[in-house]
Amino acid sequence: MEFRRHGKEGYATNLSVMEQLFLRLSNSMLNNRALETSYHKCFSSKKIVEKVRRLGGSTFVFLTAFWPIPSIDQDPRREDIFRILGRGVDGIMTDRPEAVRRLMDEWVKQTM
């Protein structure tokens, strides 16, 4: 919280657990805040991703382990990555950027 107040540049900072819970109920502006979530749809549905963006935030999905959800990063599957990208997320955190990038490029070609 102090970091956000101090920074006039509007640094992106993640939503706290309480803020994530209230996100479903409120329409408060997020002012460059980020929802960091796992790859599971229940935590970053297309509806939530759209709401976060509409309120001025962004959504980043972890492919690495995000307790209590296991990692899908060891062997990212095409259908998993396509499903995540189809929700409109702003970024993907991965330990396998080359493999994920190839899948992202393939997804872009398919959706053009």
pLDDT by residue (tens digit) across 45-99?
Answer: 899 899 999 998 899 998 987 777 888 888 889 999 999 999 999 999 999 999 9
| pTM (global) more than 0.95 | no
Residue type, 39: Y
Mean pLDDT of all residues in 91-112: 93
CA distance 32 to 59: 10
Q: Per the structure, how many domains does the chain have?
A: 1
- Cβ contact 58:12 at 8 Å: yes
Sheet (strand 58-62) strand order: 13-14, 33-38, 58-62, 91-93
CA distance 48 to 21: 12
Domain region containing 48 = 2-111
* The pLDDT of residue 71: 86
